[in-house]
Amino acid sequence: MRTAQPSRAPPAARPDPTHPARLDAEEAHRVSQNRPAAVIVLAAGEGTRMRSATPKVLHAIGGRTLLGHAMTAARSLDPDHLVVVVRHGRDRVAPHVVEVDPKALVADQDEIKGTGRAVRCGLNVLPPGLTGTVVVTYGDVPLLSGATLGDLLVAHTASGAAATVLTATVDDPTGYGRVIRADDGTVLGIVEHKDADEGQRAVREINSGIYAFDAEVLASALARVGTDNVQGEVYLTDVLGIARADGLTVSARCTDDVWQVEGVNDRAQLAALGAELNRRVLRRAMVAGVTVRDPGTTWVDVQVDLEPDVTLLPGVQLLGRTRVRGGATVGPDTTLVDSEVGAGATVVRTQAVRAVIGDGVVVGPFAHLRPGTVLRAAEGADPPVPWPAGDRPATGSPAGGYADVTDEGATRS
């Protein structure tokens, strides 16, 4: 059983996943030879603790839904089949699956509850007699990367195990299922917190609920999993016990990045994971040559494209597929949505949606660019010169490189 995850910050001490070496490793995993037969993403949960009319997996951080993040990581493994299991909010979730990845398959979970049943429903839409590796993940773990899934897949293939579980070590494992290992390092089983004895509760290695399975073992074991438990559900963790009973090996891969296995159950966790994702996006940008004057007030979506030597001043939000070219300065207090900023441009206290700001153009302060606005530098204007603090001319004052704002889509407030 995948336990509900407490609303708390994971341990702070861990290697930085945005270090260039790790970014290179992530790219390498995208072309890994360890290609799974299928990835099944479980997205059927009700998400009652979100207190929302919107299905939990459709809430967004970093400009992408939780499910969108999960599907992007899953697709990076280049599986033969990508399946998303849905139930609650199906009328909204299923179309979103197709929008994110038209090749993905949608499987419907029936009235039988449990993660094991959800995976069984996912297998039902795949070709009969499927062989190879099946990876199981969730639609509410937005920071899980393709690189980490790739690590799990490589470890599973190398070990020759029937099943491999992704685990993490935390300072406070309260509420999580504990991973119990044998002397040889293989997994004996997973014990839920409420069922664990004092010795087992001292174990700090927890189950993430993310697995790699041999497809034939998975199908055979699920056929033998019942609902004889307090919750009356089909538990995916029971597959591990069945595999062990059949004399097969169950292994584990421990990640050193606990954030990646943190799920979203409520709005507080949504905010915490959103902030951590933004920190990673900004760290990646700064490593690549972008100046971020105040990371605490700067928000950049995952699909934003920033070239080296861009400067972001405090209070900037870059959303959607915004692109900012080298040498441009954005901010302070600027929000750009699906917009393009040219090389060397300056955008001050501006809100723009689907606008194009040309090379060397200076916009703002207090500008509003409507969708479709295209601004180019005035004919024959000198290149813009940085103004000393406090000496920038008022809006509309003539200055080299200021935009000739004649487009009907551009207004000032």
Half-sphere exposure of 235 (CA within 13 A, CB side): 19
Can you tell me the mean pLDDT for 28-50?
A: 81
Whether residue 302 is found in the same domain as residue 377: yes
3-state DSSP assignment of residue 227: coil
Give the residue with greater pLDDT, 192 vs 371: 371
Strand ranges across the sheet with 340-341: 305-306, 323-324, 340-341, 356-357, 374-375
**Residues in CB range of 42: below 8 A, 6 or more apart:** 85, 115, 118, 119, 122, 136, 137, 138, 139
Mean pLDDT of the chain: 87
Would you state the pLDDT for residue 312?
98
Domain boundary among the residues 201, 234, 267 is at 267
Would you state the pLDDT for residue 285?
98
Whether residue 258 is found in the same domain as residue 295: no
Would you state the pLDDT for residue 105?
98
3-state DSSP assignment of residue 333: coil
Q: For residue 40, what is the DSSP state?
A: E
pLDDT over threshold 60, residue 403: no
The full DSSP string for 255-297 is: ES-GGGGPPP-SHHHHHHHHHHHHHHHHHHHHHTT-EES-GGG
Is 129 inside any structural domain? Answer: yes
Confidence of residue 28 (pLDDT cuts 50, 70, 90): very low
Whether residue 177 is found in the same domain as residue 224: yes
Whether residue 251 is found in the same domain as residue 391: no
The CATH number for 314's domain is 2.160.10.10
Would you state the pLDDT for residue 200?
93
pLDDT over threshold 80, residue 4: no
Whether residue 72 contacts residue 99, with contact meaning beta carbons closer than 8 Å, is answered with: no
3-state DSSP assignment of residue 70: helix
The CATH number for 58's domain is 3.90.550.10
Would you state the pLDDT for residue 194?
83
Whether residue 195 is found in the same domain as residue 316: no
pLDDT over threshold 80, residue 16: no
Can you tell me the mean pLDDT for 382-402?
A: 44
Confidence of residue 225 (pLDDT cuts 50, 70, 90): very high
Whether residue 224 is found in the same domain as residue 316: no
Is 2 inside any structural domain? Answer: no
Is 6 inside any structural domain? Answer: no
pLDDT over threshold 80, residue 31: no
Is 285 inside any structural domain? Answer: no
Q: Tell me which of 8, 14, 49, 204 is the catalytic residue.
A: 49
Whether residue 61 is found in the same domain as residue 154: yes
Whether residue 261 is found in the same domain as residue 319: no
Torsions phi, psi for 300 (to 5 deg): -135, 125
Is 276 inside any structural domain? Answer: no
Whether residue 361 is found in the same domain as residue 245: no
* Core vs surface per residue 287-313: b (16+ CB within 10 A) or e: eeebebeebebbbbbbbbebbeebbbb
Whether residue 52 is found in the same domain as residue 192: yes
Supply the range of the domain harboring residue 378. Answer: 291-412
Would you state the pLDDT for residue 388?
45
Amino acid at 238: D
Asked about 49 being catalytic, the answer comes back as: yes
How distant, in Å, are the alpha carbons of 5, 44, 47, 214 from that of 209?
11, 15, 17, 16
Going by their DSSP bridges, the two strands 299-300 and 187-191 should be labelled as: unpaired
pTM of the model: 0.85
1 Cα distance to chain centroid: 22
Q: Look up residue 405 and give its two tokens.
A: 């704002």
Whether residue 124 is found in the same domain as residue 217: yes
Is 277 inside any structural domain? Answer: no
Is 37 inside any structural domain? Answer: yes
Whether residue 115 contacts residue 2, with contact meaning beta carbons closer than 8 Å, is answered with: yes
Whether residue 112 is found in the same domain as residue 210: yes
pLDDT over threshold 50, residue 313: yes
Amino acid at 370: R
Number of domains in the chain: 2
pLDDT 10s digits, 294-309 = 999 999 999 999 999 9
Is 138 inside any structural domain? Answer: yes
pLDDT over threshold 60, residue 8: no
